Amino acid sequence: MTPTDPAARAAELRATLNEANHRYHVLDRPTISDREYDLAFRELNELEAAHPELVTDDSPTQRVGAPTEGGFPSVRHEVPMLSLGNAFGADELREFDTRVRRGLGRGLDDPPVTYVCELKIDGLAISLRYEGRRFVRVATRGDGTTGEDVTANLRTVRAIPLSLHEDPPGDRLEVRGEVYMPRGAFASLNEQLEKEGRPLYANARNTTAGTVRQKDPKVTASRRLSVWTYQLVGAHGLSTHSESLALLESLGFPVNPHVRRVEGIEAVIDFTTEWADARKDLDYETDGIVIKVDALEEQQQLGFVSRAPRWATAYKFPAEQVTTKLEAIEVYVGRTGAMTPVAHVTPVSVGGTTVRNATLHNIDEIRRKDLRVGDTVVLQRAGDVIPEVVSAVLDARDGSETIWEMPAACPVCGTQALREEPEVVTRCPNPYCPAQRIGGLLHFSGRGGLDIDGLGFKIMMQLVERELVKEPADIFRLDAEALEGLDRLARKSADNLAQAINNARHRPLSHILNGLGIRHVGEQTAIDLAAWLATELSTTEGETDADWTRRVADRLRDASVEELTGVYGIGLVVAEGIVRFFGDAHTRDTLHRLIEAGVSAEAPAPGARNRAEGPLSGKTLVVTGTLPGLSRSEAEDAIRAAGGHAASSVSAKTDYLVAGDKAGSKLSRAEQLGVLVLDEDAFRKLIEEKT
């Protein structure tokens, strides 16, 4: 080949540009100027246009692909992407170390455990797949088991190597990491939006998640995302986690430089102290420190509890508090009619997020904290927790502040509000309240329900306002022509949404039941109810799914409280809620009308409970209040993963109540019935001791 041979020149340019990308975006040590890079990129682009056969997957010109058609395909992770337990403060880190040492059979006089400390990046977890040296796919974490294929979009992120620097160990490589938006890129994006007179984004993390799921990869490319990788899946002949990080670096992956291998938990605590303030000088958001046992053999020995490894934990930095002005309190009405007071505050940055609204929970909390409109208040946000008003600054009062009262009527429909003892929530009892209708329809079409991709709040609001949708069945009577008439919905988008609606006509029975929005019936109760119906009404030869679903609807409409309380996992309060739903003239035929609109259910296997076997098998637990280290859904997932039943209400059948702050009426009910109450630490220990 001669120096002017197109194939040789294209290969030379690809190598130059890929090396420049690595040095600029990964090593932060550029070796060529932007102009030199642009000229080389243009030459390669022209060469490939003239000789299409020279285009390769790892060419820098291929980082931006074609727009995504429809939704993102699902990807099942061969190795689940686990969540981590949390530690708050030095004492909890020492407790983690004690559990690790006990699990490894080490006494106080034995050598300390070797840990690796890494900054916890506040972004979106991803899994990268390589075959040989070639990048082939990237997926989001999703629910830990199944994520979304976002390859076309993340191919645009220049920190991700399209071709590895050397041969990897094995034919296939999977690498876990975090995609994030640098602070500088986030600030530039908001500056541009402000110039255009468009709404600003609140925080970098949510903006990253939205950017990753853009339909057009060119939009993703313009947002300047980056990546840190932190885990090599599989041992690959290595003995420590720190060795795997070194291997990732040598292969060309970006590995955060602020990683430290330390001996013993006190050195870990020193690391967390060091970064409590230093993290504010970084060009990316961090919300804690991840601590991992370094030896892979010891990781294997320690194993897992629920969906989290015993050999790792996430230390969360203390909640950041700021002061701002409580400008107004407005009541929001949810799908169940719950009227929730929300504080509107003078915008303030806290925990990396610009906060304009904060939860006030209920009128009792407002009274307990003595909050008044016009107060200077302390605002707090920790991790993913919704911002909340902690207290009023009493010394700042000047007499202009006013006491707020819960309105006597629903602010949306004007119906007289009700508060039933012992509940702390005030509700709008009108089932036709527009706010309840919007909330109920979004619950029905969302995840956990029929999961209709693309049917969000703005579109649903238009559908309800134009009276195209009044109840769930109306969704399935929409077509592309009707959808195209909505604001900002072009024909292609209308076709995609119509297809998504059509795809949702056949869903598991538990999803349909959960989507109906029956009071007190959540995800787990819907699973239990579906399992009972599958056993009660086994399918017959030649029976269609629609026919079987119709028999299910008939059975539910006729079910009594006594029958339902005999179903595993269903107590009196839940049973009464189900009977009330299928006895009410407004809702009794909801399921029948869905069947008429073409919806049918996938039946679970008769007798199946869709529940894992584990240390909590046969136990019923209820989670209430705010737990410091777990969201309610995460706690309930942990219960189910351990074989237990996560119920929504306390009854005589409840074995444990897991109670956090502001536990309310469920705690009182548990104490009346003599149910054992656990805080988060006791809950974690219960699972650990039983495994």
What residues contact 296, with CB distance under 8 A and at least 6 apart? 235, 238, 239, 240, 241, 244
**Paired strand residues for 373:** 402
Select from 583, 593, 336 the least CA-distant residue to 471: 593
Residue 555: CA count within 13 A, CB half-sphere: 17
Question: Using the 8-state DSSP alphabet, how is residue 53 labeled?
Answer: G
What span, in angstroms and rounded, lies between the C-alpha atoms of 307 and 289? 19
**Contact of 338 with 425, CB cutoff 8 Å:** yes
120 is catalytic: yes
Whose structure tokens read 């689940």? 80
Here the tokens at position 431 are 């089932």
Q: Please report, for residues 88, 139, 141, 447, the alpha-carbon distance to residue 144 in angstroms, rounded to integers and kept in the order given.
A: 23, 11, 5, 15
Burial category of 30 from C-beta neighbours within 10 Å (exposed 0-12, middle 13-18, buried 19 and up): middle
Q: Which amino acid is at 390?
A: V
What span, in angstroms and rounded, lies between the C-alpha atoms of 72 and 352? 29
What span, in angstroms and rounded, lies between the C-alpha atoms of 197 and 200? 9
Here the tokens at position 499 are 């297809």
**Paired strand residues for 327:** none
**Paired strand residues for 140:** 126
Here the tokens at position 442 are 């979004």
What span, in angstroms and rounded, lies between the C-alpha atoms of 388 and 637? 25
Q: Please report, for residues 329, 473, 493, 505, 549, the alpha-carbon distance to residue 500 in angstroms, rounded to integers and kept in the order given.
A: 38, 15, 10, 9, 21
Residue 396: CA count within 13 A, CB half-sphere: 15
CA dihedral defined by 128, 130, 134, 140, rounded to 10 degrees? -20
What residues contact 19, with CB distance under 8 A and at least 6 apart? 31
List of long-range contacts for 501-506, beta carbons under 8 Å, 24+ apart: 501/452, 501/455, 501/475, 501/476, 504/445, 504/450, 504/451, 504/452, 504/599, 505/476, 505/598, 505/599, 505/600, 506/545, 506/599, 506/600, 506/601, 506/602
What span, in angstroms and rounded, lies between the C-alpha atoms of 266 and 111? 13
Q: What is the 3-class SS of 398-425, one letter each residue?
A: CCCCEECCCCCECCCCCCECECCCCCCC
E-state strands within 264-387 = 286-293, 304-305, 308-309, 312-316, 320-333, 338-350, 353-359, 372-373, 376-381
What residues contact 511, with CB distance under 8 A and at least 6 apart? 448, 449, 450, 451, 526
CA 632 centroid distance within chain: 12
Q: What are the backbone angles phi and psi of residue 222, rounded to the nearest 5°?
A: -75, -15
Q: How many CB atoms lie within 10 A of CB 530?
A: 25
Q: Do β-strands 226-232 and 134-140 pair in parallel, antiparallel, or remain unpaired? A: unpaired
Q: Which of 120, 292, 316, 369 is catalytic?
A: 120
Q: Which residues are catalytic?
A: 120
